[in-house]
Every structure is written in C-alpha cells, then in structure tokens.
Amino acid sequence: MKVDVIGARGMLGTDLLFVLGNAGIDVKGYDLPELDITSDGGGLEEIGQCDWVVNCAAYTDVDGAETNFEKAYNVNRDGARRVAERCRKTGACLMYISTDYVFDGQNRVAYREDATVNPVNVYGKSKLAGEKEIQSAGVKHLIVRTQSLFGLNGKNFVKAIMDRLAKNDGPLNVVNDQISSPTYTMHLADAILRLLKKSKQGIINASASGECSWFEFACAITARIKPTVTVVPVSTSEYIRPAVRPAFSVLDKSLYESWTGSSMPLWQDGLREYLERI
Ligand SMILES: NC(=O)c1ccc[n+]([C@@H]2O[C@H](COP(=O)([O-])OP(=O)(O)OC[C@H]3O[C@@H](n4cnc5c(N)ncnc54)[C@H](OP(=O)(O)O)[C@@H]3O)[C@@H](O)[C@H]2O)c1
C-alpha cells in the first residue's frame, strides 16, 4: 500500500510516518514549507499518486483560532478542500483527521459518529467545515475524529505539566470539569494503520479507551514525575481561556471496535508508554 501523509512533521504526523514505515507501507511525508495546502501552487501536485492520502495538516492553536479565524479556516476548511480536490483527480482515498471539538460537550454519554455536531469554538467550527468540504467533494474518504493528543513531537498537556513541575514545586491548579480521553499519538497511529488496511469510508471515532478530567490526568502525570506536588481541582469558570471547550467530549469507539476487532488502549497505558519513551 502507498500512503502520502500531509502534516508529516507535526505531533501525529511524525508518529504516523514511523508506524506506517515500520509496517512496511510505502509512505511519503509532506509538510510546510515544501507543501502548503492553503495555496494552489503550493506543491499539491506532488501528492496523491497513492492508495491513501492522510491529511494531518491543521491549524491546531485552539485559543489562537478565536482571533486568527481566517488562518484557521484557510488551513482547516479551504486547505482540506484543496487536498480533497487533488485526491479526486488522482483517485486516491482521503483520510481527514478531525476532532471531538465538533461537539458542544452537553452530552453525558460518549458521542457516536452520528451524534449531532455543534462546535462551540472557532477551531471546532473550522474543522467541521473541513469535514463538510470533504464530504461534498466527491472523493472516497474516511474522517477520523480523535481528541486530546499527546506525543513526543508537539505541544501538549503532558509536556505542559512536566515543564511546570520542573520549574515549580507549588500546588498546581487544573480544571476538573472537562472530561475527555487523552490519546497517545503512537496509539492513534496504530489505529490509523488498522483503518487504512480496512479501507472503509465514512466517519469513525478513534481515541483512547477510558475517560478522565484534565485534573485526573494531571494527577496521573504528577504521581509519576513529582508525587510531592499537590494538584488542586478548579472549575472552568476559574480558569478563563479565549476559546470555550466542550465540558464532555468522550467519543464512543464501538464502531472502531467492530471494524477492526480491537479496542483502543487505555489513556493510562498511553501515558505510561509516552513517559517511558521520553
Ligand atoms: N492536538 C490535538 O489534541 C488534536 C485533537 C483532536 C484532533 N486533532 C487533529 O489531529 C491532526 C494532527 O494534530 P497535531 O496535534 O499533530 O497537529 P500539529 O502538531 O499542529 O501538526 C500539524 C502539522 O500541519 C502543518 N501545517 C499547518 N499548516 C499547513 C499548511 N498550510 N500546509 C501544510 N502543512 C501545514 C503544521 O506545520 P507548522 O507546525 O509549521 O504550522 C504541522 O506540522 C490535526 O488535524 C488536528 O486537527 C488534534
């Protein structure tokens, strides 16, 4: 199987290239500056002579998107459309990596793929717009919704907590009323490999098994790195950020399990493997 990965030097893209290469897939990676999906002359003609294009490229600064919405839409919607058009031309199947932030977080049970979407921030709206572009582009596609990624090659919550612990022994305030499933990018890359081999189309959820609040996640990180530090639960209302986050965005993985015959690893296993790797 031949696969082109866009956004290949990002947090997920780096691990995906590694996992696909290790599995004997003929994989090529593309990223800025040699490929710019926001520009018609940006190198898109280099991609798509393959079975699958995996689009991991995105504007991922959730808070930044609130003021930089033009850039968010440029990459996450218009860039996604350009990639889809290219795939339609070459006949390649397209996998678009999307997000739990297409949901408003009002559910109390895990979101299935067909749950009602209602993004509450610009990033989520721009990613949903990207999904819609792909669905209407007449290209064979699979949209993979994932969430709360952490990996070696990018900014993420685990790194932020570790940086904080390295600098300071004081108590750590972390929000306790936002629930998700923090997902290790190596585990997501394994899941993507399984999905590519299944060659299915539509929308699929893929994120860690289990769920926790950011507070619980921070406690698990701190327990391994510096157990003497106290983690204090706070509410979102005490920790105002530019972008609103869904309060509950756990994704239902039943469809993934029935397609692949396997379960996603638990977030605790992702954290352990990540910390062992660094
Ligand atoms: N991180 C999360 O928690 C999370 C959660 C749910 C879903 N996702 C989705 O998962 C995917 C991967 O996320 P990630 O965290 O790995 O993101 P990331 O680390 O920010 O990687 C995205 C990559 O895309 C590149 N890129 C940006 N604009 C581009 C353009 N115009 N043309 C080509 N490449 C461009 C970035 O380059 P620069 O770094 O130079 O800008 C970066 O290398 C994204 O689709 C994201 O929306 C992420």
Using one digit for the tens of pLDDT, what is the confidence trace for 221-256?
999 999 999 999 999 999 889 999 999 999 999 999
Residue 219 belongs to some domain of the structure? no
32 touches ligand 1 (CB under 6 Å): yes
Question: Per-residue pLDDT tens for 210-227?
Answer: 999 999 999 999 999 999
State whether the beta carbon of 225 lies less than 6 angstroms from ligand 1: no
| Domain annotation covers residue 276 | no
In a domain, 272, yes or no: no
Distance (angstroms) between ligand 1 centre and the Cα of 160 equals 18
Q: How far is the CA of 29 from the centre of ligand 1 (A)?
A: 13
From 123, 184, 256, 274, the catalytic residue: 123
Q: Is residue 28 part of a domain?
A: yes
Q: Does some domain include residue 159?
A: no
The per-residue pLDDT for range 102-113, each reduced to its tens digit, is 999 999 899 999
Ligand 1 pocket, residue 233 CB under 6 Å: no
User: Is 241 inside any structural domain?
Assistant: no
The pLDDT of residue 239 is 86
Show the domain range for 127.
Answer: 2-154+181-209+249-267
Residue 123 Cα to ligand 1 middle (Å): 12
Tell whether 225 is covered by a domain.
no
Q: Quick one: pLDDT at residue 40? A: 86
Amino acid identity, residue 173? N
Q: 40-44, 85-89, 90-94, 268-272: which range is least confident on average?
A: 40-44
Q: Judge if the beta carbon of residue 43 lies within 6 A of ligand 1.
A: no
Closest ligand 1 atom to Cα of 38: 31
Query: Is 21 domain-assigned?
Result: yes
Q: Pick the atom of ligand 1 nearest to 183's CA.
A: 3
Q: How far is the CA of 118 from the centre of ligand 1 (A)?
A: 22
- Average of per-residue pLDDT values in the chain: 97
The CB of 9 under 6 Å from ligand 1? The reply is yes
Q: pLDDT grade, residue 55 (50/70/90)?
A: very high
Domain of 104: which CATH number? 3.40.50.720
Question: How many domains does the chain divide into?
Answer: 1
Residue 59: active-site member:
no
